[in-house]
Amino acid sequence: MFKCSNVFTIHLTLFPLQIFSKNLNKYGPKHALIRSTLSGSTFLVVIGISLHHLADYARIFGVDSKIISKSLVFALFVFQSANVQFLYTQHWSFLGSILSPEEGKVWFAPIAGIGSITSTLAAAHVSMLVERLGLIGLLCTAGLVIGSSAIFADAAYEVARQVRLFRCNKHGLQRINSQHILST
């Protein structure tokens, strides 16, 4: 079942990109990032709740619960594969838009390193988390954690906006009169 999921993943990645592009044009980068992040987190929570009520759905629709669970897990796998690539690209794009090339040379490597270390640590603890929280609890927790990153993205855009209003030069901080790169 998961072998054909890569075909769906490629196509499913295009769908959120289209929506993101429309949101980007209509609302700007900050709100497009927040909307797409919250949409992804909501999907995880909905799948978690759906799996929790699996027996009820099977009874209501008169379908074997294995068919529903396999369908939900397949949808989750395809979504997760597409969404991880999508969010990863969005957040790196955000960093690229707020950091100068000099700042990027300083910060990109440590950010990537910390991201790799935390991803590895998180992956090593998945089985323990599933034992403690269960799959449904883990899905809902992941949705809430990803959703909370929208709050941090909002704060990061505000900090970046404030910082970009001033530039450091040999005379100290100087207010920039030209329009800055970030819009709200």
pTM: 0.70
Distances (CA, A) of 126 to 133, 137, 176: 10, 12, 47
Residues 6+ apart with CB under 8 A from 5: 74, 77, 78, 81
Q: 85: pLDDT confidence band, cut at 50, 70 and 90? A: confident
Whether pLDDT at 174 is above 70: no
List all residues 6 or more positions away from 26 whose beta carbon is below 8 Å from its beta carbon.
Answer: none
What does the pLDDT read at residue 164? Answer: 66
Average pLDDT over residues 9-31: 77
The helix (H) or strand (E) run that includes residue 181 is none
Query: Within a 10 A sphere around the Cβ of 169, how many other Cβ atoms?
Result: 8
Question: Quick one: tokens of 153?
Answer: 């993205």
What is the structure's pLDDT at 176? Answer: 56
The region of weakest confidence among 21-25, 52-56, 87-91, 161-165 is: 161-165
Cα–Cα distance between 133 and 127 in angstroms, integer? 10
